[in-house]
Amino acid sequence: MGADADVVIDARGLNKFFGKNHVVQDLSLSVRRGEIFGFLGPNGSGKTTSIRMLCGLLTPDSGEGHCLGFDIVREAKSIKREVGYMTQRFSFWEDLTIRENLNFIARMYGMKDARPKVDEALAHLGLTSRANQLAGSLSGGWKQRLALAACLLHDPKLLLLDEPTAGVDPKARRDFWEELHALAARGITVLVSTHYMDEAERCHKLGYILNGKLLVQGTAREVIASQSLTTWSVTGAELPVLAGRLRALPGVEQVAAFGTALHVTGSNRTRLRDELAPLMAEPAWTWTEVEPGLEDVFIHLMRDVVEAPVAKPTP
């Protein structure tokens, strides 16, 4: 690990195969203490495998790195003691109460001060009044709080969250992210995978993974700027008809409805403006250049990968 003590994760060239499937390809990144790093990408892209390798929960087939000062290959057991892992599926005992679930997990960790730690976790996540409620009767948001409380029982330095807000209502998602930022402010580092663009924007840094490759990483602003996209918002009459005309233009990469407007995106500013000029001259529509968003960037990246030519084998 480098000399910077604030670097919690430092990985270089990690690879993982499952049979002949190259699930993660040459993953390299650095995460600092107290950062929330978000992994985005479609299902099966390698997000969860990447996170688990970075935290010592899965051994890479090649590459090197450190997590919390420990070697991710040789000292994986030491890393696991400092990690709180929240899986996508609710994995607690539904016929036990919230308190009973937390007590059981505390015993699994071998915690000697289990009772005060459980009481602290209940209070911190607003679960005290529900402590005797069966876990199976909880809504998605309350199950989420229970899962996070369990993750924090042993005072981990690193949280690993695999799509933690799937199936949770908007208010519960917002409250959950407020709690994550409070934890990050205390110096806890968070690795989280998500499909939600609004959650990606809440991360300090993020990376987009597709087909096992980390295509881009940085802050949301850096990720957007890296692709140099141009986006126009257009309002007016008969937008579905206009959308069909726009999709026929070679310089238009994306046409998406946003409320009562269309967003039109391309990677070549001059070409896009030239092709849109005849439509802009028509009085039926009003055009405004807007900042592209993360969703525009990720669709652009997926399009580039899908349209990339496949190398032919050498005869």
CA distance readout (Å), 133 to 99, 122, 139, 164: 8, 12, 11, 21
Q: Which architecture, in CATH terms, is 7-224? A: 3-Layer(aba) Sandwich (3.40)
Q: Which residue has the higher pLDDT, 276 or 141?
A: 276
The average pLDDT across 166-170 equals 79
CB contact set of 94 (below 8 Å; sequence gap of 6+): 134, 135, 136
The confidence score (pLDDT) of residue 314 equals 39
Q: What is the CATH number of domain 228-291?
A: 3.30.70.920
Q: Report the alpha-carbon angle 260-265-267, nearest 5.
A: 170
| CA-based nearest residue to 192, from 221, 154, 153, 160 | 160
Which region among 64-68, 111-115, 254-258 has the lowest average model confidence (pLDDT)? 111-115
Are residues 63 and 251 in contact, defined by beta-carbon separation less than 8 angstroms?
no
Percentage of residues of the chain with pLDDT beyond 90: 69
Quickly state the pLDDT bin for 241 (edges 50, 70, 90).
Answer: very high
The confidence score (pLDDT) of residue 87 equals 78
Provide the residue ranges of all domains of the chain, joining segments of one domain with +: 7-224, 228-291
The per-residue pLDDT for range 86-128, each reduced to its tens digit, is 877 767 899 999 999 999 999 888 888 889 999 999 998 889 9
DSSP 8-state secondary structure symbol assigned to residue 57 = S
CB contact set of 289 (below 8 Å; sequence gap of 6+): 230, 231, 232, 233
Do the two domains 7-224 and 228-291 of this chain adopt the same fold? no
The confidence score (pLDDT) of residue 297 equals 92
CA atoms of 292 and 62, how far apart (whole Å) = 37
Q: What pairs with residue 286 in β-bridges? A: 235
Residue 312 pLDDT exceeds 50: no
Are residues 57 and 70 in contact, defined by beta-carbon separation less than 8 angstroms?
no
Quickly state the pLDDT bin for 304 (edges 50, 70, 90).
Answer: low
Quickly state the pLDDT bin for 315 (edges 50, 70, 90).
Answer: very low
Instruction: Kindly report the average pLDDT of the chain as a whole number.
Output: 90
The confidence score (pLDDT) of residue 306 equals 53
The confidence score (pLDDT) of residue 2 equals 44
What's the pTM?
0.86
Q: Which residue has the higher pLDDT, 44 or 66?
A: 66
The confidence score (pLDDT) of residue 69 equals 93
Q: How many CA atoms lie within 13 A of 299 on its CB side?
A: 18
CA atoms of 28 and 151, how far apart (whole Å) = 26
The confidence score (pLDDT) of residue 57 equals 87
Residue 55 pLDDT exceeds 70: yes
